[in-house]
Amino acid sequence: MPIMTAEKPSFLKVLLLTARPKTLGASVAPVLMGTALVIRDEKFHGLSAFCALTGAILIQILTNYANDYFDYIKGADRENRLGPERATSSGWLTPKQMRFSLMILFFITLVPGAYLIYRGGFPILIIGVISLILAFAYTAGPLPLAYLGLGDLFVFIFFGPVAVMGTSYVQTLQVSIYGFLAGVSAGCFSVAILTVNNYRDIENDRSVGKRTLAVRLGENFAKAEYIFMLFISVIIIPLLFAFCGEGQKDILLLMILLVPSMFLMNSIIHYKGRELNVLLANTSKLLLVYSGLFSILWII
């Protein structure tokens, strides 16, 4: 049964809230970083960059919509849920409406994807097909990734190296080692965001058999995972700048991000319950800031 709330938002607002806009930095950031790499090489391709950005955002929203629907079907959203309210379990949308919205969004996502496949060929087709499958397989099917503790791995891969390298590839039709290293940073940031989500929901997930890494290995592991992922995220790009012989830029970027990163690392230790929603949003914001700073410094 849906968990009815006191006030039902408008239909459009429900769709916006279900998209989880505060976390969309995880899809925007790797596209910015991948595009910065090609701008520096003077190989920027505007339409490919636009389609890569649009496609990445749509796939993340598609994943969020699928999670909303399939977690409800599996009974994973209960009254004690600490995260933002979900459309289906809150009764804002019926399961039929959620399925319909999910289907429409799926077909919209195919539009930028079709151009990217035309531009990048078979490698992009494979990436696109797998990405769409994983958007549903995260919470759907007989072996959903989130319920098996595999979500962290696939978030790292597809919101990290695959996203950054894929963005640069569709513009240059070449693979770059710099894209891989930048992708590792973006992927670790995205895992950190997911870790906050899983740490916040650990008790609810445990009660419904959702065996995330936080559930399997405990709260202390989740805290350590977040700190480690954030540390790797912040340190790897300055190391990349240093490797390219641009010492001043790597020191500048590291100094700018060191203080907010340490604040977030401290927060994961002390925050509980719904306070972690703030930490999740702040981590996503830092990822956007980080990718923007990287892009500017890399280009200039």
Q: What tens digit of pLDDT does each residue of 56-69 get?
A: 999 999 999 999 99
CB 219 within 8 Å of CB 202: yes
Look at residue 246 and tell me if it is in a domain: yes
Look at residue 1 and tell me if it is in a domain: no
Look at residue 2 and tell me if it is in a domain: no
Residue 230 has pLDDT above 80, yes or no: yes
CA-based nearest residue to 172, from 300, 43, 65: 43
CA-based nearest residue to 205, from 100, 93, 78: 78
Other Cβ atoms within 10 Å of 62 Cβ, number? 20
In the chain, the percentage of residues whose pLDDT exceeds 90 is 59
Q: Which residue has the higher pLDDT, 249 or 16?
A: 16
Look at residue 5 and tell me if it is in a domain: no
Three-state SS for 218-229 is CHHHHHHHHHHH
Residue 40 has pLDDT above 70, yes or no: yes
Look at residue 189 and tell me if it is in a domain: yes
* Helix, strand and coil in the chain, % to nearest 5: 75, 0, 25
The residue assigned the tokens 């759907």 is 140
The count of domains in the chain is 1
Residue 79 has pLDDT above 80, yes or no: no
Look at residue 131 and tell me if it is in a domain: yes
Look at residue 6 and tell me if it is in a domain: no
Q: Span 238-263, mean pLDDT?
A: 73
Q: Which helix (H) or strand (E) holds 272?
A: none
Using pLDDT thresholds of 50, 70 and 90, give the confidence band for residue 81: low
**79-88, 207-216, 231-240: lowest mean pLDDT where?**
79-88
Whole-number pLDDT of residue 22: 87
Backbone angles phi, psi at 85, to 5 degrees: -65, 145
Look at residue 16 and tell me if it is in a domain: yes
The residue assigned the tokens 């209960």 is 78
Of 44-58, 69-83, 203-217, 243-257, which has the strongest mean pLDDT?
A: 44-58
Q: What tens digit of pLDDT does each residue of 165-209 get?
A: 999 999 999 988 889 989 999 999 999 999 999 999 898 888 888
Domain that holds residue 200: 11-299
Measure the CA–CA gap between 111 and 193, rounded to whole angstroms. Answer: 28
Residue 1 has pLDDT above 60, yes or no: no
Residue 5 has pLDDT above 60, yes or no: no
- Residue 135 maps to which CATH number? 1.10.600
